[in-house]
Amino acid sequence: MRYKKDIVVLKFGGTSVGDIEKIKRVADRVIRSKNEGKSVVVVVSAMGDTTDKLIGLAGEIASNPSRREMDMLVSTGECVSGSLLAMAIQEKGYKSVSLTGGQAGIVTDELYSNAKILNIRTERILKELRRDRIVIVAGFQGVDTGGNITTLGRGGSDTTAVALATALKAKYCEIYTDVEGVYSADPNMVEEAKKLESISYDEMLELASSGAKVIHLRAVEFAKKNNVILHIRSSFNDNEGTWVMDDFKKDVRMERPVITGVTYDVGEAKVSIFGLEDKPGIAADLFGRLAEKNINVDLIVQNVSEKNIAAISFTIRTEDVPLAKKVLKKMKNVRTEIDTEIAKVSIIGAGMQSNPGVAAKMFKILAEKDINIEMISTSPIRISCVIKENRIKEAVKALHAGFELA
Ligand code: ASP
Ligand code: MG
């Protein structure tokens, strides 16, 4: 049976449900959407830094805890905030029910701590909506086909929300967070940064993958694939946030700017490998070994070889450095250098596809600040440079000003 009312999915992050007062405020906000005549499904994160604390507790017991038990443990955070929110809503005289990911029908694969959603059985949620209940779903978790609780990776509640919006054919999915939306640069670093009214999925993907932490990357991928309209906004006021969608009829600007935003990431390390034999299969072997250990590689640069000896540099997450060291130790006749004091600065904009000279301008702005570029990588709508970490603030500010984003 088709569900007739408009469904909206609202997701509240950890800071938005950080304490009891805040949970009560979230309840008011949710009730307001309900009173607008919509069927409301709410996804919550764990309160504040609960997930970190739970991980800490496990660390006090085991150095290498069972992955199944870890997911069992960390999934509880979202159950706490979910049930408290349902109670807060009930206290205000409205009907509500909280569900675990599994109860909400979220079925995942078996990859503990980084599970992927396979499908969502929406019957239970729809049944609760028909009973006129506000449905609260614990974010970040699901259940595998064997009935074990799984989690979707840090920040995964965003993905829960978008996946539910897709499965329920929701009108849109609102991500309530502790910032007002997506900015042209980190407002903590660049005072002149401005909030963007709307951006495309591709721009949001590039922003999220190059350092903007406002929303989980997988959630954006999911939204793009399924055309879920996202609205990223503050849970502490009623201001419009940033709309993420590909329909720009709403967009008031005649022409989109060449550059939409500047991002940075200080969480990567540069690995250089010297003395590699230059022959087919070398890169496949090297990156195959890293992939086997689930180490994500970002930028890759291979130098021209001299006397058949090549060098390859690439970046990985800093937390993967110890594991990468182990992997690389097994490679014979090569020398490895790892530099963790690097940062990546990126400019993003759909408009750069039709505007030549954007890269040259970026390099010039950095050169004028005497900032050395160690690596470069591009996508059709992004240019990233690896520089020294201690120059990152200067670089972000200079690029933001240079591309007139203020
Ligand atoms: N509570 C989980 C985390 O801290 C999931 C989330 O907040 O999205 O990563
Ligand atoms: Mg988050």
DSSP 287-303: HHHHHHTT--EEEEEEP
Q: Which of 141, 154, 159, 215 best tests ligand 1's pocket when mutated (most atoms within 8 Å of CB)?
A: 154
**Which residues on adjacent β-strands are paired with residue 195?**
183
Indicate the pairing of strand 39-44 with strand 7-12: parallel
Q: What is the pLDDT along the chain (406 residues), one digit of tens a residue?
A: 567 789 999 999 999 999 999 999 999 999 999 999 999 999 999 999 999 999 999 999 999 999 999 999 999 999 999 999 999 999 999 999 999 999 999 999 999 999 999 999 999 999 999 999 999 999 999 999 999 999 999 999 999 999 999 999 999 999 999 899 999 999 999 999 999 999 999 999 999 988 888 899 999 999 999 999 999 999 999 999 999 998 665 555 555 678 999 999 999 999 999 999 888 998 999 999 999 999 999 999 988 777 888 899 999 999 999 999 999 999 888 999 999 999 999 999 988 988 889 999 999 999 999 999 999 999 999 999 999 999 999 999 999 999 999 8
Q: How far is the CA of 113 from the centre of ligand 1 (A)?
A: 11
Q: Tell me the one-letter amino acid at 267.
A: G
Q: Which residues contact 108 (CB under 8 A, 6 or more apart)?
A: 115, 116, 117, 118, 142, 143, 144, 150, 152
Centroid of ligand 2 to alpha carbon of 277 (angstroms): 43
| pLDDT score, position 250 | 52
Starting from the edge strand earliest in sequence, which strands make up the sheet with 134-138, in order?
Answer: 96-99, 134-138, 39-44, 7-12, 172-177, 230-234, 242-244, 198-199
- For residue 308, what pLDDT is reported? 84
181: helix, strand or coil: coil
Kindly identify the ligand whose nearest atom is closest to the C-alpha of 51: 1
Of all protein residues, the one whose alpha carbon is nearest to atom 8 of ligand 1 is: 155
Residue 304's pLDDT is: 78
Q: Specify which residues 274 forms β-bridges with.
A: 335
Residue with tokens 């499965």: 167
Torsional sign, CA 12, 152, 56, 179: negative
Residues with CB under 6 A from ligand 1: 14, 45-46, 51, 77, 139-140, 154-157
What are the residues facing 263 on neighbouring strands?
Answer: 346
Nearest Cα neighbor of 116 from 137, 144, 138, 136 is 144
CATH superfamily of 7-178: Acetylglutamate kinase-like (3.40.1160.10)
Helix (H) or strand (E) holding 350: none
Torsion of CA 280, 285, 287, 292, to 10 degrees: 150
Angle in degrees, CA 62, 63, 65, rounded to 5: 60
Distance 58 CA to ligand 1 centre (A): 16
In the block, tokens 């909280």 appear at 98
- Dist. CA 72 → ligand 1 center (Å): 14
Structure tokens at 280: 């087919």
Angle (CA) 36-37-40 rounded to 5° is 95
Q: pTM higher than 0.95, yes or no?
A: no
DSSP, residue by residue, 233-249 = EESSS----EEE-S-GG
Q: What is the gyration radius of the CA atoms in the chain, in angstroms?
A: 23
| Ligand closest to the CA atom of residue 154 | 1
* Token pair belonging to 49: 């830094």
- Residue ranges of alpha helices (H) inside 194-281 are 201-209, 217-226
